[in-house]
């Protein structure tokens, strides 16, 4: 019971991260129909910008990064989101906009090129270097509350010596991740479905040419999409660094896999669909965590990708995707 | 439009080309001149394992600098050519081929990761050029052929060392859980050897859990480990993962000590894990704190040159280069066969990672040390010497 | 495509003989047409094998080898990606499947037949025969896996193939990590029970080392020749036009009676076959150990880049791009740590300046013929 609850708790926090990243993939795919491979590198930037800022900026503001006040995390988060949004905007203008009328495959290759560029520039010693780093915990790292269960009777023949009572720990970091991600998702939902910008985004994703004829500035809408996607990715990067303070270097497999799984989440939820991406993020996290815990951690990545293939065979449009495509 | 774009990209490319030309000045090839001896090094200088390659390269360069300052080998200066293999086996093979056939190196140093050494070693063997791997601990590497050597101990010994150490603690530990990286040959090998050694010495494994390179969340595995109630947890992984594992283990309420192998070696380990690794220990090739003046001298020079303390990989790179230079002075000529024979004949070589000899399997026979993390500092704990056969 | 059955006409004896003669003649012509390039290719392959190491050194020979394997992979991917317009991101998965199959056959075959895993026999000896069989078997297994995977997924339109193949490559990678250590000696191999073969003993995450090193420039370029002939004849046949019609407009192709799924699967299987062969060559290359990483998505991406850079469907363009990109990281070695940055910038720059690839969907010879290309240039239907 304790293990089950603990696994659920982890899945919720990890799922929120996947969902945030998946949103970026799904928004770009919805509008431009291409897989933005550089998206996971924006997450990296978000995480490393946060690290750099808490190391170098906070002390200048008179903040000790090792015992920060409550607002430090918020400041770093907002700054990282702003910086990454700017980077996302520049990438879109410099690398994707000139390719608006080329085949999608070209844009995809360009995205891969951008991804390689960001990774390798990030590895230069003057940028982030190749060593992992420790993210200072900007949130007080403590248990929010915990539930204790009586130790179950030993299952094996040999009784385990001094079995400790099992506890389910709900940590502050996890709750903050969940709440922050939730707030951002609700904001995005409001933006997409209740503002003029959101209406324009949906119009562009529905049919670009018609949207342009209706007087929508398509280029501006696409820039906004990248901007918002990059900001969400930065938020995910920041939260990721909060949860896993051992920050891996920019070209590490962690980031690639994180991006791939978030992309799978977007597909499973129904690519192009904002709510689907959120749902997909949680589905992937639950499958991954439960598979790793209850079946075997050997095949952790396999569960995710097998689920993807199964999903595409049974329901190619994803969980929430419909044939009448309502995309963003 | 395209003209404009082109000019933008030229602006981007210009500085890079300039940087590239500047950067390559020190390392680039060209045929060896008469008064120098060229040595090759292939390592992951970029990519996920870049820190290992860079540390090793630093160690090698320091050694060569000292040797050259002392007059070189038989009056000739040593020159190092380093190629990046990005941690990719295909690139490793190509890099070694280039070192041997284009740059005409007399010997090759590298790699850290065993799977990459296994890619480069057959090429060296085929061309009859000796190769010394500083830190590949998998036994298969030197089995490739009679030109392949190493200056580190091998996994079976390392597994034995850690098992023996925990069995001989004042209160012997018998229930151990293992968490290893299944995508990493080093980690898999060490986990197996440790398990063999521990069962032989009377301990039991409570559970075997795995992760893969790139995993960041270990809670599923750690929850399972917590459920198996081990007295200690063995984590034969790389330090970048170990830091995160330790942090998460403590959060999940696993309070028992964690321990591991030489993959833990890095000044960043304690920085990342903070207090989570307090009381944990790992096996290592040498200890920076060893009062031996030879080691202190090395640590000081390294810190002067690179601004950080040398980790085990830097020390092994340093030893590999010095062993090679030593063998060159002893060899009848610098041909592959003579040089390999001289390396094989090395006895009681006085390195910073201990005094060692090269055995019939071309492995180094040397002691290992156990280092313990106390108050956030890595402290020397014990030395374990090889069993006499 | 089923051709309509010919009208039933009674033929006289003379007419029948004339027809038979005509058929024989056309067969001869076909033989000659495909035979000449094949022979030329083999002669060239022999020339590469003999001349390149003499004139340019072993290192150049090695780059040639890598470039040749890249050409096979890229040209085969081009059949799916460039001709049929189906975006596959799992080509490296077939490379790995073929490589592991071929490696197992030649390594364990050598252990079983000759008691050692080393190279056996010289030119055209028994060892090389085993190597060829292994490569072809690698291709066969690759094709079989391609069929199994293509059949369900190629029904879908759009990018789903890309996503499924991406997942497939990653799954192959995880599965290969779970394999067992390689059996080192003939005694171990003979004494091994079935449980040592399930999962297969191909080294797990350490990689499959010890495969005999048979691959040389002759064999690589012989297979390059075969791949090129097949790709060329496919492109300029009715089959190729079916594939191009699918690429240009699936609905229109369907309306014109092209069995869309069937043709996609065929293209996919052919591509997987050659990828499997390339895997076999790759596995037997000196200085290579086959590792699960080779199945991963980064390798696949490299191949897609070659196809796009070469130009969709242009065989010569893809050949050029594959050769260039395979040797580029080696040529850029002097750039040291800026090497990959330069690579990335070149890639982006290429895409911006020349989005249609080196030659577009034309071939290199169209450039100096200066003749309008009949095939519609690939502005893919988005």
Strands B349-351, B354-358: pairing is antiparallel
pLDDT score of C379 more than 60: no
In this structure, what DSSP letter does residue A293 have?
A: I
Q: Which of B90, B95, B118, B187 is the best substitution to test chain C (most C C-beta atoms within 10 A)?
A: B90
What average pLDDT does the structure give for chain C?
Answer: 82
What is the DSSP secondary-structure string of C144-189?
Answer: HHHHHHHHHHTTS-TTHHHHHHHHHHHHHHHHHHTPPPPP-SHHHH
For A86, half-sphere exposure in the C-beta direction (CA atoms, 13 angstrom radius) is 6
- Quick check: C349 and B45 CB within 8 A? no
Q: Which of C156, C313, C351 is the best substitution to test chain A (most A C-beta atoms within 10 A)?
A: C351
- Per-residue model confidence (pLDDT) at position C368: 60
Q: Which residues lie below 8 Å from residue A178, measured CB to CB, with a gap of 6+?
A: A12, A13, A16
Q: Chains contacting C with at least 3 CB pairs below 8 Å? A: A, B
- Per-residue model confidence (pLDDT) at position B26: 36
- Per-residue model confidence (pLDDT) at position C8: 57
Point out the residue among B95, B115, B189 whose CB comes nearest to the CB of C289. B115
Asked if residues C272 and C94 have their Cβ atoms less than 8 Å apart, the reply is yes
Q: What is the pLDDT of residues C265-296, one digit of tens each?
A: 999 999 999 999 999 999 998 877 888 888 87
How far is residue A2 CA from its own chain's centroid? Answer: 27
**Residues in C touching A103 (Cβ below 8 Å):** 312, 355, 378-380, 382
- Per-residue model confidence (pLDDT) at position C44: 85
Q: Which residues lie below 8 Å from residue A161, measured CB to CB, with a gap of 6+?
A: B175, B229
How far is residue C201 CA from its own chain's centroid? Answer: 25
Q: Which residues lie below 8 Å from residue C155, measured CB to CB, with a gap of 6+?
A: C261
* Interface A:C, Cβ pairs < 8 A: 112
- Per-residue model confidence (pLDDT) at position C1: 45
Residue whose entry in the numeric block shows the structure tokens 């696993």: B254
pLDDT score of A66 more than 50: yes
Quote the CA–CA distance of A175 and C197 in Å, as a whole number.
47
Quote the minimal CA–CA distance from A58 to chain B in Å: 19
pLDDT, greater one: A7 or C142: C142
Quote the CA–CA distance of B44 and A253 in Å, as a whole number.
15
Q: What angle do CA A223, A203, A193 make, to 5 degrees?
A: 90
Q: Which residues lie below 8 Å from residue A121, measured CB to CB, with a gap of 6+?
A: A127, C341
- Quick check: B272 and A131 CB within 8 A? no
Quote the minimal CA–CA distance from B89 to chain C in Å: 6
pLDDT score of A324 more than 60: no
Closest residue in chain A to residue C293, using alpha carbons only? A253
In which band, very low, low, confident or very high, does the pLDDT at A161 lie, cut at 50, 70 and 90?
A: very low
- Per-residue model confidence (pLDDT) at position B50: 78
Q: Which residues lie below 8 Å from residue A98, measured CB to CB, with a gap of 6+?
A: B1, B5, C352
- Per-residue model confidence (pLDDT) at position A141: 67
* Interface A:B, Cβ pairs < 8 A: 117
User: ipTM, 2 decimals?
Assistant: 0.81
In which band, very low, low, confident or very high, does the pLDDT at A323 lie, cut at 50, 70 and 90?
A: low
Percent composition of chain C: helix, strand, coil (DSSP 3-state, to 5): 70, 0, 25
**What share of chain C has pLDDT > 90, as a percent?**
23
Neighbours of B4 (CB within 10 A): 9
Quote the minimal CA–CA distance from C50 to chain B in Å: 16
**SS3 assignment, position A129:** coil
- Per-residue model confidence (pLDDT) at position B5: 36
* Residues 157-196 in B contacting A (C-alpha not used; CB under 8 Å): 175, 182
Q: What angle do CA B157, B159, B162 make, to 5 degrees?
A: 105
**Residues in B touching C178 (Cβ below 8 Å):** 182
Q: Chains contacting B with at least 3 CB pairs below 8 Å? A: A, C
Closest residue in chain B to residue C117, using alpha carbons only? B144
What's the whole-number mean pLDDT along residues A77-101?
91
Quote the minimal CA–CA distance from B16 to chain C in Å: 7
Q: What is the pLDDT of residues C218-260, one digit of tens each?
A: 999 999 999 988 988 888 889 999 999 988 888 888 888 889 8
In which band, very low, low, confident or very high, does the pLDDT at A150 lie, cut at 50, 70 and 90?
A: low
What's the whole-number mean pLDDT along residues A199-215?
89
**Residues in B touching A157 (Cβ below 8 Å):** none
pTM for the whole thing? 0.83
Asked if residues C275 and C98 have their Cβ atoms less than 8 Å apart, the reply is yes
**Residues in A touching C382 (Cβ below 8 Å):** 33, 103-104
- Quick check: B91 and C329 CB within 8 A? yes
What's the whole-number mean pLDDT along residues A3-21?
90
C342 Cβ under 8 Å from any chain B Cβ: yes
pLDDT, greater one: A262 or A300: A262
- Quick check: C344 and A120 CB within 8 A? yes
Quote the CA–CA distance of A240 and A15 in Å, as a whole number.
11
Closest residue in chain B to residue C211, using alpha carbons only? B122
- Per-residue model confidence (pLDDT) at position C335: 66
C209 Cβ under 8 Å from any chain B Cβ: yes
- Per-residue model confidence (pLDDT) at position B238: 87
- Quick check: B216 and A131 CB within 8 A? no
- Per-residue model confidence (pLDDT) at position C219: 92
CA dist B223 → A131, A256, B202, B263, B318 (Å): 28, 25, 26, 23, 41
Nearest to B213 by CA among B246, B183, B248, B235: B183
What's the whole-number mean pLDDT along residues A288-305?
86
Quote the CA–CA distance of B331 and B342 in Å, as a whole number.
5
SS (H, E, C) chain B: CHHHHHHHHHHHHHHHHHHHHHHHCCCCCCCCCCCEEEEEEEECCCCCCHHHHHHHHHHHHHHHHHHHHCCCECCEEEEEEEEECCCCHHHHHHHHHHHHHCCCCCEEECCCCHHHHHHHHHHHHHHCCCEEECCCCCHHHHHHCCCEEECCCCHHHHHHHHHHHHHCCCCCCCEEEEEEECCCHHHHHHHHHHHHHHHHCCCEEEEEEEECCCCCCCHHHHHHHHHCCCCEEECCCCHHHHHHHHHHHHHCCCCCCEEECHHHCCCHHHHHHHHHHCCCEEEECCCCCCCCHHHHHHHHHHHHHHCCCCCHHHHHHHHHHHHHHHHHHHCCCCCHHHHHHHHHCCCCEEECCEEEEECCCCCEECCEEEEEEECCEEEEEEEECCCCC
* Residues 170-189 in B contacting C (C-alpha not used; CB under 8 Å): 182-185, 188-189
- Per-residue model confidence (pLDDT) at position B31: 53
Closest residue in chain A to residue C167, using alpha carbons only? A305
Asked if residues A26 and A36 have their Cβ atoms less than 8 Å apart, the reply is no
Neighbours of A313 (CB within 10 A): 14
A162 burial (CB, 10 Å; 0-12 / 13-18 / 19+) is exposed
What's the whole-number mean pLDDT along residues C75-86?
89
A286 Cβ under 8 Å from any chain B Cβ: no
- Quick check: A257 and B215 CB within 8 A? yes
* Residues 339-378 in C contacting A (C-alpha not used; CB under 8 Å): 340-341, 343-345, 347-348, 351-352, 355-356, 378
- Quick check: C353 and B5 CB within 8 A? yes
In this structure, what DSSP letter does residue A92 have?
A: I
What's the whole-number mean pLDDT along residues A43-67?
85
Asked if residues B362 and B148 have their Cβ atoms less than 8 Å apart, the reply is yes
Nearest to A38 by CA among B91, C301, B126: C301
- Per-residue model confidence (pLDDT) at position C25: 67
What's the whole-number mean pLDDT along residues A300-325?
80
Strands B349-351, B258-260: pairing is unpaired
Q: What is the pLDDT along chain B (389 residues), one digit of tens a residue?
A: 334 334 333 433 343 344 333 333 333 444 556 788 999 999 988 777 778 888 899 999 999 999 999 888 888 899 999 998 888 888 888 899 889 988 889 999 988 888 889 889 989 998 999 999 998 988 888 988 899 999 998 888 999 999 999 998 888 898 999 999 888 888 888 999 999 999 999 999 999 998 888 888 888 888 889 888 899 999 998 888 898 899 889 888 888 999 999 888 887 888 888 888 988 999 988 888 888 888 899 999 999 998 888 888 999 999 999 999 999 999 888 888 999 999 999 888 888 888 888 988 899 888 888 999 998 888 888 888 876 44
In which band, very low, low, confident or very high, does the pLDDT at C102 lie, cut at 50, 70 and 90?
A: very high
Tell me the two tokens of residue C225.
Answer: 């020749």
CA dist C173 → A122, A299, B185, C101, C292 (Å): 27, 11, 14, 14, 5
Quote the CA–CA distance of C162 and C148 in Å, as a whole number.
16
What's the whole-number mean pLDDT along residues C30-45?
77
Quote the minimal CA–CA distance from A266 to chain B in Å: 20
B71 Cβ under 8 Å from any chain C Cβ: no
């Amino acid at each position: 019971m304790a293990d089950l609850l603990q696994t659920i708790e982890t899945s919720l926090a990890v799922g929120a991260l996947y969902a945030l990243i998946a949103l970026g993939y799904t928004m770009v795919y919805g509008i431009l129909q291409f897989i933005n491979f550089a998206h996971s590198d924006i997450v990296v930037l978000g995480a490393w910008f946060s690290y750099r800022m808490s190391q170098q900026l906070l002390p200048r503001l008179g903040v000790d990064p090792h015992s920060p006040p409550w607002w430090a995390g918020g400041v770093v988060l907002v700054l990282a989101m702003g910086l990454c949004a700017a980077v996302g905007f520049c990438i879109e203008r410099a690398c994707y906009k000139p390719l608006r009328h080329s085949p999608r495959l070209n844009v995809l290759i360009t995205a891969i090129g951008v991804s390689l560029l960001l990774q390798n520039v990030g590895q230069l010693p003057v940028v982030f270097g190749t060593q992992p780093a420790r993210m200072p915990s900007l949130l007080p790292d403590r248990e929010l509350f915990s539930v204790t269960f009586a130790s179950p009777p030993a299952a094996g023949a040999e009784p385990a010596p001094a079995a400790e009572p099992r506890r389910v720990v709900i940590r502050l970091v996890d709750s903050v991740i969940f709440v922050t991600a939730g707030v951002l998702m609700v904001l995005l939902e409001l933006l997409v479905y209740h503002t003029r910008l959101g209406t324009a985004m949906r119009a562009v994703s529905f049919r670009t040419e018609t949207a342009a004829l209706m007087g929508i500035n398509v280029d501006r809408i696409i820039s906004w999409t990248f901007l918002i996607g990059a900001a969400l990715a930065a938020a995910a990067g920041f939260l990721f660094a909060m949860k896993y303070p051992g920050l891996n270097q920019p070209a590490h497999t962690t980031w690639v896999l994180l991006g791939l799984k978030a992309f799978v989440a977007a597909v499973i939820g129904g690519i192009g669909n904002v709510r689907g991406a959120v749902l997909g993020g949680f589905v992937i996290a639950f499958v991954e965590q439960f598979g790793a815990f209850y079946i075997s951690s050997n095949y952790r990545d396999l569960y995710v990708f097998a689920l993807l293939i199964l999903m595409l065979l049974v329901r190619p449009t994803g969980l929430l995707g419909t044939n009448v495509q309502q995309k963003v | 439009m395209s003209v404009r774009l082109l000019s933008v990209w030229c602006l981007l490319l210009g500085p890079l080309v300039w940087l590239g030309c500047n950067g390559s000045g020190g390392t680039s090839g060209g045929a060896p001149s008469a008064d120098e001896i060229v040595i090759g090094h292939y390592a992951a200088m970029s990519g996920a394992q870049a820190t290992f390659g860079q540390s090793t390269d630093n160690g090698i360069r320091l050694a060569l600098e000292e040797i050259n300052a002392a007059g070189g080998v038989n009056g000739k200066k040593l020159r190092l050519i380093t190629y990046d293999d990005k941690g990719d086996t295909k690139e490793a093979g190509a890099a070694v081929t280039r070192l041997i056939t284009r740059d005409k190196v007399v010997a090759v140093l590298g790699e850290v990761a065993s799977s990459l050494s296994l890619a480069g070693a057959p090429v060296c063997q085929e061309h009859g050029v000796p190769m010394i791997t500083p830190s590949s601990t998998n036994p298969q590497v030197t089995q490739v052929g009679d030109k392949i050597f190493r200056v580190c101990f091998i996994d079976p010994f390392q597994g034995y060392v850690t098992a023996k150490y925990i069995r001989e603690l004042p209160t012997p530990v018998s229930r151990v859980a293992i968490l290893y990286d299944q995508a990493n040959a080093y980690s898999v090998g060490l986990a197996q050897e440790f398990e063999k050694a521990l069962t032989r010495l009377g301990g039991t494994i409570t559970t075997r859990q795995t992760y893969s390179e790139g995993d960041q969340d270990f809670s599923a595995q750690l929850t399972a480990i917590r459920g198996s109630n081990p007295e200690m947890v063995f984590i034969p992984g790389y330090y970048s993962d170990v830091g995160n594992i330790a942090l998460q283990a403590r959060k999940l309420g696993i309070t028992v000590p964690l321990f591991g192998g030489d993959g833990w070696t890095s000044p960043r380990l304690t920085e990342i894990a903070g207090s989570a690794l307090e009381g944990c220990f790992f096996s290592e090739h040498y200890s920076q704190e060893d009062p031996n003046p030879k080691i202190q001298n090395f640590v000081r020079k390294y810190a002067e040159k690179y601004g950080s303390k040398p980790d085990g990989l830097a020390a092994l790179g340093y030893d590999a280069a010095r062993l090679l230079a030593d063998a060159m002075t002893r060899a009848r000529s610098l041909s592959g066969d003579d040089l390999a024979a001289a390396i094989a004949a090395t006895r009681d070589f006085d390195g910073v990672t201990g005094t060692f000899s090269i055995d019939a399997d071309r492995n180094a026979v040397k002691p290992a040390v156990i280092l313990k993390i106390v108050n956030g500092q890595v402290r020397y704990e014990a030395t374990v010497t090889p069993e006499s056969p | 495509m089923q051709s309509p059955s010919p009208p039933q006409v009674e033929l006289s004896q003379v007419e029948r003989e004339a027809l038979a003669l005509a058929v024989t003649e056309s067969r001869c012509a076909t033989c000659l047409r495909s035979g000449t390039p094949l022979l030329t290719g083999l002669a060239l392959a022999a020339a590469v094998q003999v001349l390149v190491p003499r004139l340019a050194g072993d290192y150049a020979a090695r780059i040639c080898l890598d470039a040749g394997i890249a050409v096979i992979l890229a040209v085969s991917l081009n059949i799916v990606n460039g001709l049929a317009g189906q975006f596959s991101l799992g080509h490296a998965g077939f490379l790995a499947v073929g490589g592991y199959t071929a490696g197992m056959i030649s390594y364990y075959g050598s252990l079983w037949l000759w008691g050692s895993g080393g190279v056996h026999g010289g030119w055209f000896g028994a060892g090389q025969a085993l190597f060829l069989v292994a490569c072809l078997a690698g291709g066969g297994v690759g094709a079989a896996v391609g069929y199994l995977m293509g059949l369900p997924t190629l029904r879908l339109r759009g990018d789903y193939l890309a996503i499924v193949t991406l997942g497939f490559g990653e799954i192959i990678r995880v599965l290969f990590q779970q394999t067992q250590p390689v059996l080192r000696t003939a005694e171990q191999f003979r004494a091994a029970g079935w449980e040592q073969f399930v999962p297969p003993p191909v080294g797990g995450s350490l990689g499959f080392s010890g495969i005999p090193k048979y691959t040389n420039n002759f064999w690589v370029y012989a297979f390059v020749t075969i791949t090129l002939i097949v790709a060329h004849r496919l492109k300029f046949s009715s089959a190729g036009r079916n594939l191009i019609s699918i690429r240009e407009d699936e609905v229109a192709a369907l309306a014109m009676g092209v069995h869309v799924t069937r043709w996609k699967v065929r293209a996919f299987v052919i591509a997987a076959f050659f990828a499997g062969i390339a895997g076999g060559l790759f596995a037997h290359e000196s200085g290579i150990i086959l590792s699960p990483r080779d199945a991963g998505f980064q390798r696949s991406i490299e191949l897609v880049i070659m196809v796009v850079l070469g130009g969709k469907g242009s065989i010569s363009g893809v050949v050029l791009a594959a050769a260039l990109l395979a040797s580029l990281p080696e040529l850029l070695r002097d750039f040291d740590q800026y090497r990959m940055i330069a690579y990335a910038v070149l890639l982006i720059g290429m895409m911006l300046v020349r989005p249609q690839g080196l030659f577009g969907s034309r071939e290199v010879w169209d450039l100096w013929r200066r003749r309008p290309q009949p095939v519609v240039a690939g502005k893919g239907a988005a």
